[in-house]
Amino acid sequence: MTVDTTLADLSDTLFSVSVGLYSLAVVAFCAQLAFGARPAAQRELVGAGAPVAPAADTAAPAAEPPNVRRYGAAAMVLTVLGALAHAGVLLFRGLAADRLPWGNMYEFATAVVLVAVVSFAVLAVRRPALRHLGIFVLAPVVLSMVAIGLFLYAEAGPLVAALRSSWLAVHVSTAILGFGIFFVSGIASVMYLLRVRHDARVAAGTATAGGLLDRLPSPVAIDRVAHRTAVFGFPIWTFAVIAGAIWAESAWGRFWGWDPKETWAFIAWVVYAAYLHARTTAGWRGRAAAWVNVVGLGVMVFNLLYVNMVSTGLHSYAGVE
């Protein structure tokens, strides 16, 4: 098996194209926020413990000037185009090497970011109010992509023997999906924390209303996005861990051995379980729970970067050059 270099080069070109498109999307989202009207004061139901069904997303500014709406629409179009180019990166990688395009950290991380972008795009298409979060999703996406391109890049190449298993498809795909969804969830929780702090400051008179943060959807709506996505990601992550254990049983002779990667997958799982608990526990809802979610994202990123690059384990995803 040889690597088709034309396709591999096409994949690398598309990587730059997608970074470019995402950067333009960031600019457009920025314009939407900067020129957008401050959304009308929102009805916020702060549940007093009982499971109050919060008001539907009322955060959408009632009348956004058409030019601003156009910025938002342009940003979405750029995001989707960027995601298509981004998908092309993986597609042509896979075709070039004739295998699933997640055989090393570069490919894995690229796929995670793609899932994050697609999750956000789906949310933003279904609830236009969430487009105001766009810049806060796409800016980290651009930064991640640049970092991936700079530090994780690996030439297209064949897989080592241990990775040649159909469990690669099952385990790694679901891990990528879960991670990408948690990425969006974590960002939503960060935005929630920023927005709540800002609102508190405005209420205390130490900050003035009218800034960028005021144009975000209401804290309740952002928090709900964070919870929804985490609820969606958690079973997927659970499945990914179980699938990994099944694979480990056939590849390494034990289904669980506290290899560093396994340990951190477990830690992340426990932290997300704590988040879901916190969301339903009086005294933990709101900011405390959001912090737990942010810690969860931190654990996921640590697991990807530190554990792959610094510690040695069976999971050493060879190929960081």
Partner 1 sequence: MTVTAPPREAPAPPPPARPSAGRRAWNLWVRWWRRLTAMRTAIILLFLLALAAIPGSLLPQRSLSQSAVARYFADHPTLAPVLDRFYLFDVFSSPWFAAVYLLLFVSLVGCVLPRAAEHYRALRTPPPAAPRNLLRLPDSARVDTPLEGTAALDAVDEELRVRRYRVVRREGPGGPELSAEKGYAKEAGNLLFHLSLVALLVALAGGKLWGYEGSILVTEGQGFCNVFQQYDTYSSGPLVEGGDLAPLCVDLEDFRAEYEDDLTASSFRADILFGGPGEEGRPQTIGVNDPLRADGARVYLTGHGYAPRFTVVTPGGRTVEDVSAPFLPTEQSTMASEGALKLPDLNGDADSQLAIQGFFAPTGVVQNGILTSVDPRPLEPQVAIVAYQGYLGLDTGRPQSVYSIDAEQIDRGALSRVGSANLAIGETLTLPDGTAITFTGYSQFAALQLSHDPGQVWVLVSAIAVLVGLLAMLLLRRERVFARVGPAAGSGGTVLTVGSLTRGGGEGGERFTALTDDLRAALAARVPARPTPPAGGAPPDPEVPTP
Q: Which residues lie near partner 1 (CB under 8 A)?
A: 1-2, 51-54, 56, 157-162, 164-165, 167, 224, 227-228, 231, 234-235, 238-239, 242, 245-247, 249-260, 263-264, 266-267, 270-271, 273-274, 277-278, 280-281, 283-284, 292, 299, 307, 311, 313
Which of ligand HEM, partner 1, none does 274 bind, CB closer than 5 to 8 A by kind?
partner 1
Q: Is 231 in the site for ligand HEM (CB under 6 A)?
A: yes
**Contacts for 280 with CB less than 8 Å, ≥ 6 apart:** none
Cβ atoms of 141 and 109 closer than 8 Å: no
> Can you say how many angstroms the Cα of residue 130 is from the centroid of all Cα atoms in its chain?
15
Q: Report the C-alpha gap between 72 and 134 in whole angstroms.
A: 9
**Contacts for 304 with CB less than 8 Å, ≥ 6 apart:** 105, 108, 109, 112, 179
Q: Strand, coil or helix: what is 168?
A: helix
Q: Which part of the chain contacts ligand HEM (CB under 6 A), choosing from 37-45, 124-132, 274-282, 292-300? A: 274-282
Q: How far is the CB of 104 from partner 1 (least distance, A)?
A: 11
Q: Is 106 exposed, middle or buried (0-12, 13-18, 19+ CB in 10 A)?
A: buried
Which of ligand HEM, partner 1, none does 67 bind, CB closer than 5 to 8 A by kind?
none
Q: Strand, coil or helix: what is 162?
A: helix
Q: Is 242 in the site for ligand HEM (CB under 6 A)?
A: no
Cβ atoms of 304 and 180 closer than 8 Å: no
Q: Is 267 in the site for ligand HEM (CB under 6 A)?
A: no
**Contacts for 77 with CB less than 8 Å, ≥ 6 apart:** none
Q: Strand, coil or helix: what is 141?
A: helix
Closer residue to ligand HEM, CB minimum distance, 3 or 231: 231
Q: How far is the CB of 223 from ligand HEM (least distance, A)?
A: 13
Q: How far is the CB of 21 from partner 1 (least distance, A)?
A: 33
Closer residue to ligand HEM, CB minimum distance, 138 or 241: 241
Closer residue to partner 1, CB minimum distance, 160 or 309: 160
Closer residue to partner 1, CB minimum distance, 190 or 240: 240
Residues 43, 197, 254, 277: which binds ligand HEM (CB under 6 A)?
277
Closer residue to ligand HEM, CB minimum distance, 232 or 252: 232
Q: Enter the tokens of residue 224.
A: 């709900």
CA angle, residues 221, 80, 91, in degrees to nearest 5: 125
Closer residue to partner 1, CB minimum distance, 74 or 252: 252
Hey, which bits of the chain come out as E strands?
none
CA angle, residues 194, 272, 239, in degrees to nearest 5: 135
Closer residue to ligand HEM, CB minimum distance, 61 or 286: 286
Site for ligand HEM in 279-298 (CB under 6 A): 280
Q: Is 254 in the site for ligand HEM (CB under 6 A)?
A: no
Cβ atoms of 152 and 320 closer than 8 Å: yes
* DSSP 8-state class, residue 2: -
Closer residue to partner 1, CB minimum distance, 140 or 158: 158
Q: Is 305 in the site for ligand HEM (CB under 6 A)?
A: no
* DSSP 8-state class, residue 212: G
Q: Strand, coil or helix: what is 123?
A: helix
Q: Which stretches of the chain bind ligand HEM, using CB under 6 A?
A: 231, 234, 273, 276-277, 280
